[in-house]
Amino acid sequence: MKKRTPFNFIRDNKGETLVEIMVAFIVLMIVIAAFTGAVNGASAAANNSKDIRQRSDNDYAALHDLLNDENLHHSAGSNSKNPSAPKTFTISGTDGDITLNAYQYESGETVYWVFR
């Protein structure tokens, strides 16, 4: 077998065959398709994340408005969006008893419990 030097490489007339070029092109297309799929998947995940974040921000804003309305009226029962009265729980601990009032708020399909 003859040693390939840069000079011999330039002078040799073998070149690439059409099959080699086609295989290289197909491999290139597969790699590009894989990158395109990865970018599309990441873009869809980012859009889903944005939608979920927007929905949770809207629900939090609605809850914040309900709590502000409750604080203005000094009563959870006066809010028309929350017709149920607060539920009271007593928790016994080593330092004494603690009484918690649980308020239930609904915003769309989401239910919030606020303990005070």
User: Edge to edge, what strands does the sheet with 110-115 contain?
Assistant: 87-93, 96-107, 110-115
Within a domain: 7: no
For the segment 30-82, what is each residue's pLDDT rounded down to a tens digit? 999 999 999 999 999 999 999 888 888 888 888 888 777 766 665 544 444 54
Within a domain: 2: no
Beta carbons of 44 and 31 less than 8 angstroms apart: no
Measured distance CA(81)–CA(73) in Å, rounded: 13
Within a domain: 3: no
Structural domain count of the chain: 1
Of the pLDDT bands very low, low, confident and very high (cuts 50, 70, 90), residue 27 is very high
For the segment 69-86, what is each residue's pLDDT rounded down to a tens digit? 766 665 544 444 544 555
Within a domain: 52: yes
Q: Residue 109 is part of which domain span?
A: 16-115
Within a domain: 27: yes
Within a domain: 9: no
What is the DSSP annotation of 5-45? Answer: -HHHHHH------HHHHHHHHHHHHHHHHHHHHHHHHHHHH
Q: If 0-12 CB within 10 Å is exposed, 13-18 middle and 19+ buried, where does residue 8 land?
A: exposed
Mean pLDDT of the chain: 76
Measured distance CA(65)–CA(18) in Å, rounded: 70
Measured distance CA(41)–CA(31) in Å, rounded: 15
